[in-house]
Amino acid sequence: MAEYYKAKRSYGIFDPKSNQPYKLSRSKLDLFLNCPRCFYLDRRLGVGQPSMPAFTLNVAVDALLKKEFDVHRARQTTHPLMAKYGLKAVPFMHPNMGQWRENFVGVQFLHKPTNFLVFGAVDDIWQTPDGVLHVVDYKATSKDGEVELENTKWHNQYRRQMEVYQWLLRQNGFEVSDTGYFVYVNARKDKQAFDGQLEFKVKIIPYTGQGNWVEKQLTQARKCLMSGTMPPAAAACEFCAYRQAAYEQEHKPAPAAATPAAKKKKAAAQSARLF
């Protein structure tokens, strides 16, 4: 097990005595919102959840979409998909675009009240002729029917992700619209055969962000890390339910050894069943 999972990390741990800014990613802020206990275990004690396998197909889709929109960024032209949805915009041209898209770098802002250096890597940013920016996130899935933004755990996380990016860009002095866009690609399963290729339906889903929660939650996250006590766990979490069930099984008393009288009784019951 130790070969795959490092139980105690020694880097990226919050030190309550330090005056240095603490780097906090958008995804770790989301971890705090999902479960303060897991956030505390990870950021304060260095015990993170086991990693998940990489979503390599989604990563491939992201990379290709970036290349495709970059062609229009270089020419400052509207992508046909944007035109199809009536959007008068072009991909935003800015010298920091590469950095803003880079994992572990992203758009950054030092939030002085918490001393958190908050960061998150955007997929894209579009700009309308009035100079206003729109955050864009690429998403890939494969489901029957139309893709919509639903009231699910994952889609709520996508909404928050968009809102943090909008907040970060605003803190960097840009004028950012509340309206962001999800470029959602949906792999078709209704084809006759695979034939070495996936075909996607591509859709733009607008979303109106409401990021007024971000600063308050940064403050709460800071309080959590400073507290020195383990916060409560999330009410519904498969990991903890699994941990609890495994613990109970491991600590269950072993069944008592059968006595000679019980063995005789069991044998008699079995032979009665045979006849």
Residues of the shown chain interacting with ligand SF4 in the complex, contacts defined by CB under 6 A: 35, 37-38, 233-234, 237, 239-240
Nearer to ligand SF4, 19 or 152 (CB): 152
User: How many CB atoms are closer than 10 A to CB 65?
Assistant: 21
User: How many CB atoms are closer than 10 A to CB 109?
Assistant: 17
Q: How far is the CB of 15 from ligand SF4 (least distance, A)?
A: 21
**Residues 238, 4, 13, 100: is their CA dihedral positive or negative?**
negative
Nearer to ligand SF4, 97 or 237 (CB): 237
Q: How far is the CB of 100 from ligand SF4 (least distance, A)?
A: 29
Q: How far is the CB of 272 from ligand SF4 (least distance, A)?
A: 49
Pick from 48, 34, 126: nearest CA to 81: 126
Q: How far is the CB of 141 from ligand SF4 (least distance, A)?
A: 24
Nearer to ligand SF4, 110 or 247 (CB): 247
Nearer to ligand SF4, 55 or 239 (CB): 239
Q: How far is the CB of 243 from ligand SF4 (least distance, A)?
A: 7
Apex 197 CA angle, 192 and 201, nearest 5: 80
Long-range contacts of 112-115 (CB under 8 A, 24+ apart): 113/215, 113/218, 113/219, 114/218, 114/219, 114/221, 114/222, 115/19, 115/20, 115/21, 115/22, 115/222
Helical packing angle, 214-227 and 36-43, nearest 10°: 60
Q: How far is the CB of 32 from ligand SF4 (least distance, A)?
A: 10
Rg (CA), the chain: 26
Nearer to ligand SF4, 234 or 268 (CB): 234
Query: Could you give the CA distance from residue 26 to residue 56 in angstroms, rounded to a whole number?
Result: 21
Nearer to ligand SF4, 42 or 163 (CB): 42
Q: Which residues pair with 151 in a beta bridge?
A: none
